[in-house]
Amino acid sequence: MQSERYVQVADMSPENMPQAFQGAGPMDVPRPLTFDPVEMRYFRAEHTLSDQDIVIHFYVSSAVRKNWSESQIAPWWLNDFANSMSNEAQKYFNAGPPRLMAKYTPEVASWWFKAQGFAHMLDVGAFLRAFYEQLDETLHSELVHANGPLVGKV
């Protein structure tokens, strides 16, 4: 058959093993990403560095899950949180798309966020803690301003 490909397999005896991988490059297995968790009033976050990028996963905080109903959480998380996260990130990082990207992951009810090219900072953890505090305060202010039934329940 013409659609099949054939390759010749070299002798893989123990004596020939060192030569079999010559020129293959580093054979290191990549390490899994490790995330640093942070718990705020309105969200929980975990962040890591991937190449030169910052990657953050946002989740609803345990306090919100405990004190709000699912019917209150879903629209807030999918709309209000998303808008606040986008606006605050663009101001804080002084960037927008395509350097900043976010995507909702329904399987785990989280927001995936990526800031491309921001891993060069001396203290990424401190930079992100300040961002989290700013975002958390903005979320609180918006809830207070809206005088919604959720204010004071976190």
Joined tokens for residue 152: 């004071």
**Backbone conformation region of residue 109, classed left if phi is above 0, alpha if psi is from -120 to 50, else beta:** left
CA distances (Å), origin 138, targets 37, 41, 135, 143: 20, 11, 5, 9
pTM here is 0.76
pLDDT of 129 reads 97
pLDDT of 86 reads 97
pLDDT of 148 reads 60
Phi, psi values for residue 81, rounded to 5°: -60, -45
**CATH number 3.30.1460 given to 31-146:** yes
Spell out, as residue ranges, where the chain has pLDDT lower than 70: 1-27, 147-154
Domain ranges of the chain: 31-146
